[in-house]
C-alpha cells in the first residue's frame, strides 16, 4: 500500500497554513535577493575597496551567502548608507543641471533681456512688444 493511498493528498492549495508558509518563505527569499543585490551594487560603487577584496566578498557571497550578507551589513552598513546617499545627491545635482539647461527663462528675465536689446537698438518697439506679449502669455 502506497503512502498517498493511506493519507488523503490535498495538493499545494489544500491547506491554508501551507499557503501562508509558502508566502512567508517567498517573502524571505525576495527580501534576501534585495539585500544581495544591494550588497553587490555597493561593492561596485565603493571606489576605495580594491578589486581583490571585491572578488573575495563576491566569492563568499556565492558560497556562504546568508552569513556573508549578515557580516557585510554589520561591518559595512554605515558606509553603504553613506555611499548610497552620496550617489543620490549626485543624481539630484545632475538632474537639476539638466533641468536648468533645458528650461526656459522666466517671463521677467525674457522681458528684461528684450528691454536691454531695445535700449541697445538691436530690436525695435514692435519686436519688443511681441516678445513681451509672448513672455506674458
Residue 137 is classified by DSSP as: -
Residue 52, pLDDT above cutoff 50: yes
**pLDDT tens digits, 85-111:** 999 999 999 998 888 777 767 778 888
State the chain's mean pLDDT as an integer: 85
Tens digits of per-residue pLDDT, 32-46? 999 999 999 999 988
Whole-number Å distance between alpha carbons of 125 and 15 = 83
The pLDDT value recorded for residue 39 is 94
Helices assigned H by DSSP within 10-106: 16-45, 51-63, 65-102
What would the mean pLDDT of 52-76 be, rounded to a whole number?
92
Give the C-alpha separation, 117 to 31, whole Å: 61
Long-range CB contacts (within 8 A, 24+) of 87-94: 87/45
Angle, CA of 106, 91 and 87, to the nearest 5° = 150
Distance of alpha carbon 60 from the chain centroid: 26
pLDDT for 64 equals 93
Mean of pLDDT values over 49-61: 93
Does residue 106 sit in helix, strand or coil? coil
Overall pTM > 0.75 = no
Confidence of residue 121 (pLDDT cuts 50, 70, 90): confident
pLDDT at residue 10 is higher than 80: no
Name the DSSP class of 14: G
Amino acid at each position: 500500500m502506497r503512502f498517498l493511498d493511506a493519507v488523503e493528498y490535498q495538493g499545494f492549495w489544500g491547506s491554508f497554513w501551507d499557503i501562508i508558509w509558502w508566502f512567508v518563505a517567498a517573502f524571505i527569499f525576495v527580501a534576501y535577493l534585495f539585500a544581495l543585490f544591494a550588497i553587490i551594487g555597493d561593492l561596485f560603487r565603493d571606489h576605495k575597496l580594491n578589486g581583490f577584496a571585491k572578488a573575495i566578498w563576491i566569492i563568499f557571497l556565492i558560497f556562504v551567502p546568508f552569513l556573508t550578507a549578515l557580516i557585510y551589513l554589520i561591518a559595512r552598513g554605515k558606509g553603504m548608507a553613506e555611499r548610497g546617499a552620496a550617489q543620490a545627491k549626485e543624481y539630484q545635482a545632475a538632474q537639476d543641471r539638466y533641468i536648468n539647461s533645458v528650461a526656459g527663462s522666466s517671463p521677467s528675465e525674457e522681458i528684461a533681456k528684450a528691454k536691454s536689446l531695445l535700449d541697445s537698438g538691436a530690436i525695435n518697439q514692435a519686436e519688443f512688444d511681441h516678445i513681451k506679449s509672448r513672455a506674458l502669455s
